[in-house]
Amino acid sequence: MEKIGVSACLLGINCKYNGKDNLNLEVLRYIAGKEVVLICPEVMGGLSTPRIPCEIQANGKVLNQNNVDVTEAFNLGKHLSLTKLKENDCNQVILKDGSPSCGFLSIYDGSFTNKLIKGQGVTTKFLKDNHIQVIHLDT
């Protein structure tokens, strides 16, 4: 059976920073008949849910809104996400756009003022660098 990795929040898991989910019907339709491998890089990296929102800064570090450097947790999350996908022989993912981990077209600009810019999340970049294909759905 075809395997696909999915940002867990897109399938209704309450792992979003505010304790909610991003359930997405288009994703649900897309995964029908496929085996799903759930990832949530921020939780896998050790961050709590709910958690303080985080944004990637111009220098590549990830800070939360209280100015705490969470880059290490984000990096751990990206490595564990890749490991889980590889262990499951999964080479494609559907990710949640706009997230500092999972964004694939846009991310917030680092100023915590709700401004989206073109860019990709920490995990997205790492997965692509490691030959995991990102499926672009409207997430």
Q: Does 16 bind ligand SF4 (CB under 6 A)?
A: yes
* Binding positions for ligand SF4, 80-99, rule CB under 6 A: 96, 99
Mark 34-53 with x for binding to ligand SF4 (rule: CB under 6 A) and - for no binding: ------xxx-----------
Smallest distance, Å, CB 9 to ligand SF4? Answer: 3
CA distance 47 to 100: 13
Tokens 């939360």, located at residue: 64
CA distance 17 to 49: 6
Query: CB atoms < 10 A from the CB of 1, how many?
Result: 6
Residues near ligand SF4, by CB under 6 A? 7-9, 15-16, 40-42, 96, 99, 101-102
